[in-house]
Amino acid sequence: MRACGSVVVPLPPILYGEVTPMSTDGPYPPSAPEPDPGAPAPYGQPAPYGQPGPAQPPAYQQPGAYPGGYPAQPVYGAPAGPPPDNFLVWAILSTVLCCLPLGIVSIVYAAQVNDKWLRGDVAGATESARKAKQFAIWSAGVQAVVLVLIGIFYVGIFALALGTASTAP
């Protein structure tokens, strides 16, 4: 535990002063704590990894000194650049004006766009945006078909009424 503090907190000046006299095999501090039995425990803890994130590479100078210690590029926030259009307005319009489950599916995909984008999943966000657009279009298409069917229905009733009227005595 105390080794953790002496490794992480004091940067090169103290480490160099302590390490160089007893081990001459390497000029870099990481070579000294490695064989130390107290060292593995602090390395396993997440705390030293999370906090000095940006400060660690300059302290150890070499990226290769830590094989597999760090994931390459963890993405936490939204990527740079404009987010993809989530077609939310069209999704809602197609739900409200077309009243179809396809519009709801479109809203779900539209919500996924921002969700994935803000988590850094660019490809997923683009794919969800494509689907949101697709389902809004299908919703509008089915709506058009249903309206035509309703029109035919009314025309049919009208024709039926005319027919019965004409055949009535």
Q: What residue ranges bind another protein (CB under 8 A)?
A: 78, 81-83, 85-86, 88-89, 92, 95-100, 104, 107-108, 110-111, 113-115, 117-118, 143, 146-147, 150-151
Looking at the Cβ atoms of 115 and 127, the one nearer to another protein is 115
Residue 117 CB, nearest approach to another protein (Å): 5
Looking at the Cβ atoms of 32 and 140, the one nearer to another protein is 140
Residue 82 CB, nearest approach to another protein (Å): 4
**How many residues in total does the chain contain?**
169
Looking at the Cβ atoms of 65 and 108, the one nearer to another protein is 108
Residues 140 and 89 sit within 8 Å (Cβ to Cβ):
no
Cα angle: 17, vertex 21, 26; to 5 degrees: 90
Residue 44 CA from chain centroid, whole number: 27
Q: Is 120 left (phi over 0), alpha (psi -120 to 50) or beta?
A: left
Looking at the Cβ atoms of 11 and 150, the one nearer to another protein is 150
CA distances from 54 to 18, 49, 118, 147 (A): 24, 10, 22, 60
Looking at the Cβ atoms of 47 and 97, the one nearer to another protein is 97
- Selection from 51, 50, 40 nearest residue 71 by Cα: 50
Tokens of 63: 């990226």
15's CB contacts (< 8 A; 6+ apart) are 6, 7, 29, 32
